[in-house]
Amino acid sequence: MLGKPCSLTPLLPQCTVGFDLAIPTLLLTQIMTTSSYAVEMRGITKRFPGVLANDRIDFQVRKGEIHALLGENGAGKSTLMNILSGLYRPDEGEIAIHGQVVEFHSPRDAIRHGVGMVHQHFMLTPSQSVAENVFLGAREIGFVLNPQRMAAEVRRIAEQYRLPVDPNAKIWQLSVGEQQRVEIIKILYRGAEILILDEPTAVLTPQEAENLFVTLRSMAADNKTIIFISHKLEEVLSIADRITVLRSGRVAATLSAQSVTKTELANLMVGRQVLFQLEKPPVQRGEVRLRLDRVCALDDKLLPALREVSLTVHSGEIVGVAGVAGNGQRELAEVICGLRPLTSGTIEVAGERMAHLTARRMIDVGVAYVPEDRNTTGSAPNLSVAENLILKSYRKTEMGAGPFLDLAAVERTATSLVKTFNILTPSIKTPVRKLSGGNLQKVILAREISGQPQVLIAASPTRGLDIGATESVRSLLLQERSQGAAILLISEDLDEIFAISDRIVVLYEGRIMGEFETADAELTEVGLLMAGGRAPSASPGT
Amino acid sequence: MELAFLVTLLAAGIRSGTAILFATIGEIFAERSGVLNLGIEGMMLMGAVSAYGVAFATGNPWLGLGVAMAVGGLMALLHGMVTISLRADQVVSGLALTFLGSGLSAVLGAPLVEVRNAPRLPVFPIPVLADLPILGPIFFNHNVIVYLGLVMAPLAWWYIHRTRPGMELRAIGEYPAAADVLGINVNRQRYAYVVFGGVMAGLGGAALSLAITPLWIEDMTAGQGWIAVGLVIFASWDPLRAALGSYLFGAIRRLPLDSQNLPFFLAYPQLGYFMNMLPYLFVILLMLISARSEMRRRIGAPAALGQPYVREERGV
């Protein structure tokens, strides 16, 4: 019942034969003799309804290099890599792996040719163990599972590539960085020679990212080919050998990382001049607008999510809350907005202690909220732009008497907000689900800011936005700061926190781990606290 | 006296819980693969009526058993086509299946109500073991179908937790996209497990009409299919806990019958009405308890339960 003898060691390129469809010997000799390119994609075109995602893209990656694929959201990076990994099929164009033209019908086909992808959203089942995830779908392990043998194999790969992880741990017990290692081990086990990583650092602390880079460099030195999707300029410059920039579904350029500057890359990526420095006047701290005193709250599973969180935000300042996702950020925002009950502690807004926290009450005292998920929490997707803009102000007398809305007034308000905030929409009657991410975020910001809030809670306000939209959201926040609002910026993007906040607090497992003036804060120190203050390379169980 | 009563009750509990156990195990597989099937009640009824009818017509109860399983499987296949391929709502489709099953079984079974002598599955005391004190009567002196249930629960557990296909089953119910990228055909597997669930529900129905209460009357399952749905949750999708729950339920269900000759109940015959409610109260209680404790533990329903799987091809 157990697998064939060779089956658990498909790691050596020759031994990829652990799979039921082995690479023929003929093909192996081709690998050794032909093209220096590991990947050649020629004239790739991919259309989705209403979108030309990839427009005649030519993309080449050399064997053993780290090649970054850079571009904004919607530039077509993920589509191109989903094609290379066999998830999508191109409408036009061809792919050659090691000089041999191939056609992938599924990710399984791609992995047979040594192409494996680590997706941005990990493809791991949380309730199963690391070993089970690694061996999922592997037919050669036989009918009856052999946990010891599976664990030993995972451990072997983990040691060979310095990807420490406990094979018997359940996925939900692991940190995000460890989960990523499991993903990498998973494709290495399947004999991947070409590894595609989709925005791998988006969810990592700076130290975890640095560890990943070390691993990637050693794999490249081991003659593995690595394609690295990113929109972060610094990391692309630090890790990649060569860089291909995509813009609007086309290749803007392919360059060597040594010969290019950050500004040049940004301009290529956006297609225009980019200003990196936002106009940020010195902070004018006023009175305390928001004060949390030893606030505790539970998460949806009724486990403690916030543990004695105390913080203050003054009028005219932005306080950034740094932390890796899932450390209590969402609960923090919801508690302040009256969406989640406190189990203990107090909240004061503008000096007034809030006794009965309800969402309505918090809106009435001037707390505005830009939620993390703009499509579900932040807006009502099927309601129009105008309706979404008045979701918080429709009760006011100027919007109509009693149960009736004064539609003319609604229209006036909406039209003027659309104009002031420069929202691009076909009309104010368009359902907001049809807007782009950036414009939807402007709708939400317009709604929240137009109420002239005392306190503004902004949770990952620029996530998924392109450079242009990010710039305008950040400058809106800075404008509000100049108007005297107290702003709590909750973000996983450390660059963002460092760019616009005046003070930084670090949240880890629901606790405030430290507080800094932004001017004195060190990136490495903040990063360490985000990981719980432990040495970043330590991982439980190994 | 009390011991003898307890032994009788436990033996009866195992016997009468067997039908629900099959249905529950089947539903565990379907739900673990991500498909909720609320049609168990209908599939059990159809299983019961076809088993009884075929056994009566052919004189062969084993043939009846086989036909009941096939009928259950076919009904589940319908549910699979509607929910997996056409991606319709699983709750609505399952309810429809129950209505279909109870209506159709009533019509088809009308002439069978008068039949009281269709052949049954045999009782088979296991040699030696059946003579053990206490354990013998509880476990080893039963209808053959009861042994099948006793064997099937641990076997199902082993399959889910200790085999490669079981590992894949757990994955497709929790994160089908992860299984898909590794070359597992999610929808094909879902079809297989949904059909298996139907086969088991049909088997459960046949166990009722050929062994446990060997006759056919309209609506003879009396809600056992629904109780199976509840037991799946109580069991946290674990076949061993399902066996415990099914047998416990069987015992409670038998309580009014087996206790009516105890002196206490002879004095208060009205208690019988209350006792007849017990199985259903028991299920409500189980649901309350499991809802509380599941919240605190991290084990819960398969995360993708109720969601059709579509390989996402959109966005850029």
Strand locations in A199-342 (E): 225-230, 242-247, 250-256, 288-298, 304-314, 318-322
User: pLDDT tens for residues B162-201?
Assistant: 999 999 999 999 999 899 888 899 999 999 999 999 999 9
Classify each residue of B154-180 as buried b or exposed e, where b means 16 or more C-beta atoms within 10 Å of its C-beta.
Answer: eebbebbeebbebbbbbbbbbbbbbbb
Tokens of A512: 């405030």
Tell me the chain B residues in contact with residue A191 when contact means C-beta distances shorter than 8 Å: none
The percentage of residues in chain A with a pLDDT greater than 90, rounded to a whole number, is 56
Residue B248 CA to residue B227 CA, distance in Å, equals 12
CB A75 within 8 A of CB A247: yes
A10 in contact with B at a CB cutoff of 8 Å?
no
CB A197 within 8 A of CB A19: no
Which residues on adjacent β-strands are paired with residue A68?
A: A228, A243
Q: Tally the residues of chain B.
A: 316
The answer to whether the A5-9+24-270 and A286-366+453-533 domains have the same CATH topology is: yes
Residue of A84, A127, A196, A246 to mutate for B, most B C-beta atoms under 10 A: A127
Residue of B180, B182, B184 to mutate for A, most A C-beta atoms under 10 A: B182
Residue A510 CA to residue A278 CA, distance in Å, equals 31
User: pLDDT tens for residues B247-298?
Assistant: 999 998 888 777 777 777 777 777 778 888 888 888 788 777 766 655 545 4
Domains in chain B, please, with CATH?
A: 10-259+270-296 (1.10.3470)
A144 in contact with B at a CB cutoff of 8 Å?
yes
A24 in contact with B at a CB cutoff of 8 Å?
no
Q: Please give the helix or strand (H or E) that residue A364 lies within, else none.
A: helix A359-364
Mean pLDDT on A291-304:
90
Is the pLDDT at A542 greater than 70, yes or no?
Answer: no
Q: What pLDDT band is residue B95 in, cutting at 50, 70 and 90?
A: very high
Angstroms from B177 CA to nearest CA on chain A: 7
Tell if the CB–CB gap between B299 and A127 is shorter than 8 Å: yes
Instruction: Report helix, strand or coil for A488.
Output: strand
Tell if the CB–CB gap between B179 and A136 is shorter than 8 Å: yes
How high is the pLDDT of residue B312?
56
User: pLDDT tens for residues B216-240?
Assistant: 999 999 899 999 998 998 888 999 9
Residue B213 CA to residue B296 CA, distance in Å, equals 40
Tell if the CB–CB gap between B180 and A141 is shorter than 8 Å: no
Q: How many CB pairs under 8 A join A and B?
A: 90
Tell if the CB–CB gap between B316 and A78 is shorter than 8 Å: yes
Mean pLDDT on A111-116:
92
Higher pLDDT, A523 or A96: A96
Residue B298 DSSP label: S
User: pLDDT tens for residues A196-236?
Assistant: 999 898 778 888 888 999 999 999 999 999 999 988 888 89
Residue B238 CA to residue B224 CA, distance in Å, equals 19
Tell if the CB–CB gap between A123 and B165 is shorter than 8 Å: no
CA torsion angle B141 B145 B150 B156 (round to 10): 170
Task: Using the structure block, give the residue that is written with the tokens 């004064």.
Answer: A406
Enumerate residues 6+ apart whose C-beta is below 8 A from B278.
Answer: B252, B253, B255, B256
Structural domain boundaries of chain A? 5-9+24-270, 286-366+453-533, 383-452
Indicate the average pLDDT of chain A.
86
Spatial strand order of the sheet with A194-198 comes to A115-118, A194-198, A225-230, A66-70, A242-247, A250-256
Residue A170 DSSP label: B
Tokens of B115: 């039949």
Enumerate residues 6+ apart whose C-beta is below 8 A from A456.
Answer: A367, A368, A369, A370, A448, A449, A477, A480, A485, A486, A487, A488
What CATH number is given for A5-9+24-270 in this structure? Answer: 3.40.50.300
Mean pLDDT on A266-274:
78
Tell if the CB–CB gap between B163 and A108 is shorter than 8 Å: no
Q: Which residue of A has its CA nearest to B181?
A: A107
Enumerate residues 6+ apart whose C-beta is below 8 A from A150.
Answer: A131, A132, A134, A135, A141, A167
Q: Tally the residues of chain A.
A: 542
Q: Which residue of B has its CA nearest to A85?
A: B181
User: pLDDT tens for residues A58-109?
Assistant: 999 999 999 999 988 778 888 999 999 998 899 999 999 999 999 998 888 8
From chain B, which residues contact A within 8 Å (Cβ)? 162-168, 170-171, 174-175, 177-184, 295-296, 298-299, 303, 311, 313-316
User: pLDDT tens for residues B255-269?
Assistant: 877 777 777 777 777
Residue A176 CA to residue A323 CA, distance in Å, equals 12
Angle between the N-to-C axes of helices B239-259 and B144-162, in degrees from 0 to 180, rounded to the nearest 10: 150
Tell me the chain B residues in contact with residue A106 when contact means C-beta distances shorter than 8 Å: 183
Q: Please give the helix or strand (H or E) that residue A41 lies within, else none.
A: strand A37-48
Tell me the chain A residues in contact with residue B170 when contact means C-beta distances shorter than 8 Å: 125, 127-128
What CATH number is given for A286-366+453-533 in this structure? Answer: 3.40.50.300
Cβ count near A254 (within 10 Å): 15
